[in-house]
Amino acid sequence: MPVERLPPAEGVLVNYRTGSVGMTSLVSSATATSTDRGPPSPTVLADLTAAAATDNPDALLALARYLFAHPPPRSAPRGERAAAASRATLLLARAVDGGTRDAAAAYDLSRCYEMGRGVPRRDPDRALHYLTVAADGGYAAARDALGTRLLGTEPRRAVALLTAAADAGHPPAALHLGHATAAGLPGVLAADPAAAAAHYAAASAAGLPAATAALADATASGAGVARDARRAAELYHAAATAGHAPAATALGVCYMTGEGTRRDPSKARRWFRTAAEGGCVVGAYNLGWALSGGAPEADDHRLDGGRDGGGGGRPPSRGDASAAAMWYARAARGGHPPAMTAWAMALLRGIGTPRDDERGVRWLRRAAAAGNSPALGVLARCYHSGRGVERDRERAREMLGLYRAATSAEAKGKGSVGVAS
């Protein structure tokens, strides 16, 4: 069944950000709230500017935060908005370099350099410098960010930073520590699924949807906790309703397969759509699969399948076939190898989109280069018949040999040809 599951979260680090502009602390209760984004008060601005004229680091920081909280309207000229951001960032830098004890300010400055906000250009070295300053100052979000960055190069230090941030009550750090614990770090951290699940549960209880989804993955597979399909579906639902797109994909799979809940293809399609619209390429692929009638796109290597794609599923309506092709194309452009193959098959068969053999072969080559073994089988057929490419029987045999070797290796490793996110 080609409906696709997301891989478990172990070893995958979530790049956690809060706030629409990536800042976490530029608005403080002493100056303004995140919802108070009207024009700056002349009186307040004058008072803060006068205080900052003394070069007191905390006064500079207060003015910087006020300016970040009250930017020019979006309708203002780009130059005016850029100048305002530059002024606020300069004040922030003066506050941090001047010795403010507010470690969150250093973290915010690192984000400015990372994003290129209010500075001439992005500067990864300065971003890392100020991130380290913030982490050394005890700011939990900075310790989490630095810890995730160092996992591959300084794992022992990374674990210490993540542990400190998690112990300080920072949910994303608990999630990332869970991922590291689930995978294990040779010589530093033994793989411990039960401990990983405990980290996920702690972050989930603190309201982090990604952690709820990770706990659902563990519950579905029985990794560190008792396997419970119904409970996993409940957790996926909680994460999905909180806006976590990959969890919406997993919930759709539950409804499509009937694992942990009553089978309901209509609900499955709705959750796949939610995931796809949330940017999850696996959700987009699954939605295309569901709309196409649940017919395998590439396991059947025929290039002239009927309106059901040659797989025996229910024939899709013209509108569903067109929508399926659109979602396949979107997921393919998002870099999803199985979707690349599905989109290529739609092009080769002219289902839901005008037939275009050469374009279909190009997508097959991209899918094969990305490791999608079914694409190799279809390419073999194309070379054999001269479909979208110059006929080449020798090349066809080569592709067929690669396909058989890949599927054999996958079968030995997983029991069946697997899927990847």
pLDDT at 360: 97
pLDDT band at 304 (very low <50, low <70, confident <90, very high): low
pLDDT at 418: 29
How confident is the model over 377-384, as a mean pLDDT?
96
pLDDT tens, position by position, 326-370: 999 999 999 999 999 999 999 999 999 999 999 999 999 999 999
pLDDT at 40: 84
pLDDT tens, position by position, 23-40: 344 433 333 333 446 788
pLDDT at 317: 76
pLDDT band at 9 (very low <50, low <70, confident <90, very high): very low
* Average pLDDT of every residue of the chain: 87
pLDDT tens, position by position, 319-334: 799 999 999 999 999 9
How confident is the model over 73-89, as a mean pLDDT?
95
% of the chain residues with pLDDT over 90: 80
CA distance 330 to 332: 5
pLDDT band at 18 (very low <50, low <70, confident <90, very high): very low
**Number of residues assigned to the chain:** 421
Token pair of 228 as six digits: 């419970």
Please say if the pLDDT value at position 415 is more than 70: no
pTM here is 0.82
Domain boundaries, the chain: 280-421
Please tell me the least confidently modeled range out of 187-196, 230-239, 250-259, 293-302. 293-302
Please say if the pLDDT value at position 22 is more than 60: no
Which own/partner contact pairs does 131-135 have at CB distance under 8 Å and 24+ positions apart?
131/106, 131/107, 133/96, 133/103, 133/106, 134/103, 134/104, 134/105, 134/106, 134/107, 134/110, 135/103, 135/161
Name, in order, each residue with C-beta under 8 angstroms of 289's C-beta and a sequence gap of 6 or more: 2, 3, 4, 297, 324, 342
How confident is the model over 290-309, as a mean pLDDT?
57
pLDDT band at 136 (very low <50, low <70, confident <90, very high): very high
Please say if the pLDDT value at position 52 is more than 70: yes
Name, in order, each residue with C-beta under 8 angstroms of 257's C-beta and a sequence gap of 6 or more: 1, 3, 263
pLDDT at 411: 81
pLDDT band at 303 (very low <50, low <70, confident <90, very high): low
Q: What angle do CA 295, 300, 303 make, to 5 degrees?
A: 105
Q: What is the homologous superfamily of the domain 280-421 according to CATH?
A: Tetratricopeptide repeat domain (1.25.40.10)
Q: How many CA atoms lie within 13 A of 58 on its CB side?
A: 5
How confident is the model over 68-85, as a mean pLDDT?
94
pLDDT band at 102 (very low <50, low <70, confident <90, very high): very high
Please say if the pLDDT value at position 48 is more than 80: yes
Please say if the pLDDT value at position 421 is more than 50: no
% of the chain residues with pLDDT over 70: 84
pLDDT tens, position by position, 209-256: 999 999 999 999 999 999 999 999 999 999 999 999 999 999 999 999
How confident is the model over 152-171, as a mean pLDDT?
97
CA distance 120 to 295: 52
φ, ψ (nearest 5 deg) of residue 149? -70, -30
pLDDT at 139: 97
pLDDT at 2: 54
